[in-house]
Amino acid sequence: MLGASLISVPKLTLHTKHSMPPCDFSPEKYQSPGCPGTDRHSPASAPQVRELKSLAYSRVLEIHKRHLSPVETAYFQKPLLLHQGHMEWLFDSEGNRYLDFFSGIVTVGVGHCHPKVTAVAKKQIDRLWHTSSVFFHSPMHEYAEKLSALLPEPLKVVFLVNSGSEANDLAMVMARAYTNHTDIISFRGAYHGCSPYTLGLTNVGIYKMAVPGGIGCQSTMCPDVFRGPWGGSHCRDSPVQTVRKCSCAPDCCQANEWYIEQFKDTLNTSVATSIAGFFAEPIQGVNGVVQYPKEFLKETFALVRERGGVCIADEVQTGFGRLGSHFWGFQTHDVLPDIVTMAKGIGNGFPMAAVVTTPVKIAKSLTKCLHHFSTFGGSPLACTIGSAVLEVIEEENLQKNSQEVGTYLLLKFAKLRDEFDIVGDVRGKGLMVGIEMVQDKISRQPLPKTEVNQIHEDCKDMGLLVGRGGNFSQTFRIVPPMCVTKLEVDFAFEVFRSALTQHMERRAK
């Protein structure tokens, strides 16, 4: 294993039983922008190398402070300076290797720099980068045909755009143009984008702004069976259920009935008699992998359609086989949306997104009121990459891997809930898992952010990168590339368990 022997990795603490799994990839030497002496051909002693690395990192911090957004988004006290990626692995500027269990915010589905995706991208770059959709090109038509074949009738018309926010913007316009109504409902805890339009749909507090926006958007209670007022041990479509007890019969979920009453209350009090639509993620991503009762979406979709609205499934994080049992998250709820939005995993990190809807009813409604256009949406390069991603998912059985390895991951990490009182809930489906941290299981109050931050740092120091979510940043999001193996899950489990053990030791002092 060349890479495993030549590159340095973060040292594991004494608590960690498993060493980092091998990797047969060796990264290139990092070169800092505008920092002399970091050229790969410059010989230097070990002390000189350390000094140059420090200078290189300082240079990046200086550029970031002077020229990039002042809004703090970077993870960790000392943000990672990443340099190269290979499948489920990331390498920083110092050559340290990390197991990526966040996938660039649930984006790198088939693996960093997947060789097939990289090869077709390079080939297309030499042929044609961009024409805009005012001209035809075969990669766009080939991709539209491949993507639409993966969706059930009548979801067969594809609008290609650049990001999840843009896709949801367009879906909002479609819903309103088709219905001639304004009000759109979304869940509290929902994340549908950060554009001025979609911020009305997004209901995670840290993304809200003290400026007008999101006209006609109304929130409704999220049917969270762990943190919400109702929930029990049979509610979720997941191998792991909440520890909250219930006395429901197998074919009757009281929590679902009570959450449906809350949704009806929203319809009766907060929106007009006729509405434009309802947005729902099949599983909430940014809010911490929150799942609803099994029948909830089926019943809410029916209620929305009674009011003349359309139902929109936001598959930006749940689509493309990540949930394992189905290719699309909405299929796990046995519903058929009127509009589906998708991004992130669609291009494995390339800026690409899509809206798919019905040909006669909804797609044609746009022709009555506007000329929709996206300069970069559906470019030859994007569509070539998108096609390669679909091919890799099929050829490498990544949906099946998401099901098998994801179930293994869920059941393994669920053991932490039994071992540590601060692990309140482990939930999810396929390779989309949330671990919610609490002060104790009785109160279910979120673990303070400072404590969650330290656990997060400890995982990073031991070579594991995970995400964060929840309104209080209290939930760890475990969403690795779909090529991940059980051996790597074992390593991640040992690292996470070690971080929790270290945290409990600090608490006891």
Residue 375 lies in a domain: no
**Nearest by Cα to 165 from 119, 130, 216, 200:** 200
The Cα 284–Cα 187 span in angstroms is: 9
| Residues 289, 338 within the same domain | yes
Residue 134 lies in a domain: no
Domain region containing 356: 156-206+214-370
| Residues 190, 301 within the same domain | yes
Residue 13 lies in a domain: yes
* 385-329-341-270 Cα dihedral, nearest 10 degrees: -160
| Residues 90, 168 within the same domain | no
Q: In the chain, how many domains are there?
A: 2
Of 326, 351, 370, which closes a domain? 370
| Residues 429, 330 within the same domain | no
Helix (H) or strand (E) holding 462: none
| Residues 193, 321 within the same domain | yes
Residue 9's contacts (CB-CB under 8 Å, 6 or more residues apart) are: 20, 96, 97, 463
Q: Residue 450: which CATH number?
A: 3.90.1150.10
* Other Cβ atoms closer than 10 A to 127: 12
Residue 148 lies in a domain: no
Residue 235 lies in a domain: yes
| Residues 236, 178 within the same domain | yes
Residue 376 lies in a domain: no
Residue 311 lies in a domain: yes
| Residues 316, 462 within the same domain | no
For position 12, what pLDDT does the model report?
40
Q: Residue 327: which CATH number?
A: 3.40.640.10
For position 8, what pLDDT does the model report?
41
Structure tokens at 405: 């390895």
34 sits in the region (left: phi over 0; alpha: psi -120 to 50; else beta) called: left
For position 1, what pLDDT does the model report?
28
The Cα 509–Cα 505 span in angstroms is: 7
Residue 256 lies in a domain: yes
| Residues 366, 419 within the same domain | no
| Residues 362, 500 within the same domain | no
| Residues 94, 179 within the same domain | no
| Residues 71, 183 within the same domain | no
Of 351, 370, 389, which closes a domain? 370
Phi, psi of 437 (to 5 degrees): -95, 135
Mean pLDDT by 10 residues, the chain (509 residues): 35 54 90 58 54 72 83 83 95 94 97 98 95 89 97 96 96 95 97 92 88 87 96 93 86 92 98 97 98 97 98 98 98 98 97 94 81 86 98 98 98 97 98 97 94 96 97 97 98 98 91
| Residues 269, 172 within the same domain | yes
